[in-house]
Structure 1
Amino acid sequence: MSKKEIPEILTIPGLRNGYETGSFTPRDVVEAAIERSAALAEKHIFITPPSMELIGPHLAELPPMDFKKYPLWGIPFAIKDNIDLAGAETTAACPAYAYRPEESATVVKKLLAAGAIPIGKTNLDQFATGLVGTRSPYGEVENAYVPARISGGSSSGSAVSVACGLAAFALGTDTAGSGRVPAMLNALVGWKPALGAWSTKGVVPACASLDCVTVFAHTLGEAEAVDGIVRGYDAACRWSRPLVRKAAALPKKILLPADGLQFFGQTAQAMEQKWQRAAERLETLGIPVETISIDVFEHAAKLLYEGAFVAERWADLGAFVEAHPGEIFSVTETILRTGGNALYTAAKLFDDMHALALDRHRAAELLEDAVLALPTAGGTFTRAEVDDDPVRTNSLMGLYTNHCNLLDLAAIAVPEDADDHEDPFGITLFALHENEHLADGVARAFLAAGGTQAERAMEPAAKEASA
């Protein structure tokens, strides 16, 4: 079989069509992924790269093709290396932390049961602490399209694996934007479900009560397909909630920030222009648009890393940090140790919890039957710029993401123009946790109005898989 028959970009609909027509087999696709990964080794996408040793047993266990029974049959996916895959090391990008789980994370189990094939464990900002993709002893993950630029973190390798045609979709995690920023910077869809909608059992915690597992895909339909398979209550996960996603629908209004947005980096002017185009497109969707102050969202965002909530990271990882001096990436250790600051007392935590409770009420009032649209990020940086100023640059990448999980919101990051690989930009649509379907509805309408991925996003095969 000619290797040229394997699509350059892997998608669920494209692979299903190829399998059904006999153009290629799952083994052919896996072999192509192994070869492509080796050719892209300098991008530092994987910690455990694709190999037949890793993937072979899953190929051997693949049942006969039946897309009704196994909606992701033969579909290769990548797994962020803070999510467990039985038999493969989980490192969280820290060699001293590595362990080999006997059981896969709940979300991975569900994907395997649907016929999906894991191809590797992806690189990340160590312990999922960062939004840049450079904080790893396994190498800085290059942007899929502009190698000198950051790939976005912490789910850097996962996003780049999809953008570079190594996987049809990839699992990431998101505490403060890690499932959204890499989506924007690599021209992908990033689906961040509501807290508890997807189990986090088998996931190394960043801030356990705020962590989500997420998915990167080329199209909204594919992200919906994965959500339809992995969503569900898990009694073994202390954070799990029975949240059923309703059919996509349009909200009563779309909220846009009134003013004061910050754009940064060498592409600041281009990013601001792209945001203006995105906002204008939202105004053409036939949904009332209202401008609001985003003060409440900005206040909540500051509570995440400038308040006592960072102590949760220290509670989960502090003992390991203390026991392994010098074995943690330096900037990561500095950040983790902030959680052990003596100022973060129980009283301070309760003060912050009370402030957050008020923010949640205010946000709920604003977002009742509404969807908020913001830039996913206000710009980007080169990897050299991040190395020169790691804290400030990382903070800027989270300006419009950090509030989300604290306020118990669902979010979908979509590209402004998925075909723009020179200066990728995207927006994120936020909704209350019970109203994910409204963000989904606006995302569909926004993509359809853009004329770039409209048809592919709603491919019948992807829609069937999400049914």
Structure 2
Amino acid sequence: MMSFMNLLDTLDIASLISGYHTHRFSPSEVIEIIFQRIATRGTDGIWTYVQPKQTVLARVSELEQLPVNVRTRLPLWGIPFSVKDCIDVAGLPTTCACPGFTYIADYTNPVVTTLINAGAILIGKTNLDQFATGLVGIRTGFDIPRNPFGSDYIPGGSSSGAAVSVSTGLVSFAVGTDTGGSGRVPASFNNIVGLKPTRGLLSTAHIVDACRTLDCVSIFALNVEDAWKIAQIAKGFDPQNSFSRHEANPPANLESYHSGQAFRFGVPLSEHQEFFGNKDIEGLFLEAIQTLIDMGGTCIPINYTPFMEANDLLFRGPWIAERYASVGAFIEANQQAVLPITRDIILSAKQLTAADVFKGLYHLADLKKTISPVWQQIDVLVVPTTGTIYRIAEVENNPLELNANLGYYTNFVNLLDLSALAIPNGFQHNGIPAGITLIAPPFSEQHLVDLGAVFHRHRTVKSDAVSSIQ
């Protein structure tokens, strides 16, 4: 067993497929190791529900008994994954990190169904900020998931458990959600990739809504290629979901990217860049800009003010009413079952009027019109995924302000109907990861993942070189 454990250094999809193809290990052996790792970690806050080992092994046995010609038609044959616990899987509990809210799902989200039908193996449901309300990852009715790079630091949220399950080698990929940064912030804090596709590209049916008009299913993976592979398998128009969209063509300049191709990337004007006193992440962002220039990019500073105004609409504007529309009735009837911070945020929507909502819609329309010309000047917008990170104790002492700080570069993306890809960008001196996010108009995922994959390789090579010198 130990020799096999040494072979299983990574759960990235290409490595697992190669190992299966060469018979170095089998899916059942991989699952045995995963459950051993889960047992060794004990109560670590990652999971709200782990499927019984025998249930998972029974699923694996079915996959292993398939004829070879059938296996080869399943692109995710034997690949383990996790699902954020606001996403329904039939027969399993959905808790939204609120034990008192728990119900057994009758249906499975279509994305999850598609992935299982492609041969993937579901390990369990993962922890989150309660009702997907937060970017910190510690607002949960269960144990707090710990950042694997520093246990006193937050893991990021709301898809905290999803990101940590990938980062700690328990699954190859995770399915999460992203409304205002939940699929990007935890990716950054866990040194993995977070792909937030265009709204409606992946079905959001059978999910406990945060903001139904904004919610996206997001993908966490160890590398860009894996995230894109999963998204390509999972995407598709869902006629049963009112917010599903047919895939459209991106702008001509964003159809794809190849290494060495010239491109234009925008960054916020220096006076709009905010790192909340974190010099490490500021320095890493400057390194990222230089890397992109070395790749053939032209850096174009842009006015970030309208993006900041859009940010404020999500938690400080009328879109908080969407959260109340989703779970407000439950919270009203079960106030003691909900964390005070979550309860107060969502119930604050009761102060809003219908007129406030329409004013917010008008303001957002004005901002979109203001921002639209920017996309004629640049191909992608590049920002730090977050300007800083905080310790758990810091967030507990100042939960609202610090959470808001983490959304400085993320909250506007779905409001403005953009696509985004969060990528690792090296490590701070304290050993905690940092990241950048590439942002582009809707349906530009191919360009983002092509560009992001090249950037990720460049930064990884540089990090390895620095490590060897030290």
TM-score (norm 2): 0.91
Equivalent in the alignment of 2:440: 431
Unaligned 5+ residue runs, structure 2? 465-470
Alpha carbons 1:447, 1:453 under 8 Å: kept? no
CA distance in 1: counterparts of 2:28 and 2:279, whole angstroms: 45
2:226 aligned partner, one-letter code: E
Equivalent in the alignment of 1:34: 35
Equivalent in the alignment of 2:415: 406
The worse-fitting range, judged by mean Cα deviation, of 47-56 and 219-228 is 47-56
1:138 aligned partner, one-letter code: F
Asked if 1:261 corresponds to 2:273, the answer is yes
Change (3 A) 1:58 1:202: farther
Equivalent in the alignment of 1:377: 386
Alpha carbons 1:54, 1:88 under 8 Å: kept? no
Cα drift, residue 285 of structure 1: 1.8
Alpha carbons 1:187, 1:420 under 8 Å: kept? no
Change (3 A) 1:251 1:284: closer
Cα drift, residue 171 of structure 1: 0.8
Partner of 2:125: helix, strand, or coil? strand
Identity of aligned residues (%): 38
CA distance in 2: counterparts of 1:388 and 1:414, whole angstroms: 29
Change (3 A) 1:389 1:57: same
Residue 186 of structure 1, aligned match among 186, 190, 207: 190
2:372 aligned partner, one-letter code: A
Cα drift, residue 360 of structure 1: 1.5
Change (3 A) 1:10 1:112: same
1:229 aligned partner, one-letter code: I
Change (3 A) 1:245 1:387: farther
CA distance in 2: counterparts of 1:340 and 1:251, whole angstroms: 50
Q: Deviations over 1:214-262 (max 9, x none)?
A: 0111100000100110011001111100115775326741111111311
Alpha carbons 1:144, 1:164 under 8 Å: kept? yes
Q: How does 1:132-147 map to 2 (within 5 A)?
A: 132-147=136-151
Unaligned 5+ residue runs, structure 1? 456-467
Cα drift, residue 382 of structure 1: 0.8
Equivalent in the alignment of 1:217: 221
Alpha carbons 1:417, 1:452 under 8 Å: kept? no
Cα drift, residue 309 of structure 1: 1.3
CA distance in 1: counterparts of 2:327 and 2:95, whole angstroms: 13
Asked if 1:238 corresponds to 2:242, the answer is yes
Change (3 A) 1:280 1:70: same
CA distance in 2: counterparts of 1:251 and 1:359, whole angstroms: 29
Partner of 2:220: helix, strand, or coil? strand
Equivalent in the alignment of 1:415: 424
CA distance in 2: counterparts of 1:53 and 1:93, whole angstroms: 25
The worse-fitting range, judged by mean Cα deviation, of 236-245 and 82-91 is 236-245
**4+ residue runs over 3 A deviation:** 63-68, 244-247, 418-421, 451-455
Partner of 2:81: helix, strand, or coil? strand
2:269 aligned partner, one-letter code: A
CA distance in 2: counterparts of 1:199 and 1:408, whole angstroms: 16
CA distance in 1: counterparts of 2:55 and 2:285, whole angstroms: 42
Q: Deviations over 1:100-149 (max 9, x none)?
A: 11321100000001100000100111100111111011111100211111
Equivalent in the alignment of 1:312: 322
Alpha carbons 2:5, 2:33 under 8 Å: kept? no
Equivalent in the alignment of 2:233: 229
CA distance in 2: counterparts of 1:45 and 1:208, whole angstroms: 25
Equivalent in the alignment of 2:468: none
Q: How does 1:386-401 map to 2 (within 5 A)?
A: 386-401=395-410
Asked if 1:327 corresponds to 2:337, the answer is yes
Alpha carbons 2:428, 2:434 under 8 Å: kept? no
2:275 aligned partner, one-letter code: F
Equivalent in the alignment of 1:161: 165
Partner of 1:209: helix, strand, or coil? coil
Cα drift, residue 32 of structure 1: 1.1
Equivalent in the alignment of 1:71: 75
Equivalent in the alignment of 2:467: none
CA distance in 2: counterparts of 1:251 and 1:193, whole angstroms: 24
CA distance in 2: counterparts of 1:360 and 1:367, whole angstroms: 11
Q: Deviations over 1:390-432 (max 9, x none)?
A: 1111111111100000000000000113899812111001001
1:255 aligned partner, one-letter code: G
1:258 aligned partner, one-letter code: L
CA distance in 2: counterparts of 1:222 and 1:361, whole angstroms: 35
Cα drift, residue 308 of structure 1: 1.1
TM-score (norm 1): 0.92
CA distance in 2: counterparts of 1:447 and 1:29, whole angstroms: 27
Change (3 A) 1:41 1:245: farther
CA distance in 2: counterparts of 1:116 and 1:453, whole angstroms: 33
CA distance in 2: counterparts of 1:197 and 1:420, whole angstroms: 38
Equivalent in the alignment of 1:357: 365
CA distance in 2: counterparts of 1:419 and 1:325, whole angstroms: 40
CA distance in 2: counterparts of 1:93 and 1:157, whole angstroms: 10
Alpha carbons 2:149, 2:432 under 8 Å: kept? no
Asked if 1:339 corresponds to 2:349, the answer is yes
Alpha carbons 1:187, 1:419 under 8 Å: kept? no
Q: Deviations over 1:264-294 (max 9, x none)?
A: 36xx111111111111111222132211111
1:296 aligned partner, one-letter code: P
The worse-fitting range, judged by mean Cα deviation, of 430-439 and 10-19 is 430-439
The worse-fitting range, judged by mean Cα deviation, of 71-80 and 367-376 is 367-376
Change (3 A) 1:410 1:279: same
Equivalent in the alignment of 1:367: 375
2:354 aligned partner, one-letter code: A
Residue 295 of structure 2, aligned match among 285, 303, 317: 285
1:276 aligned partner, one-letter code: L
Partner of 2:300: helix, strand, or coil? strand
Q: CA RMSD in A?
A: 2.1
CA distance in 2: counterparts of 1:60 and 1:337, whole angstroms: 47
Equivalent in the alignment of 1:175: 179
Partner of 1:210: helix, strand, or coil? coil
Across the two proteins, how many residue pairs are aligned to each other? 451
Q: How does 1:428-467 map to 2 (within 5 A)?
A: 428-452=437-461
1:158 aligned partner, one-letter code: A
CA distance in 2: counterparts of 1:191 and 1:16, whole angstroms: 22
Equivalent in the alignment of 1:115: 119
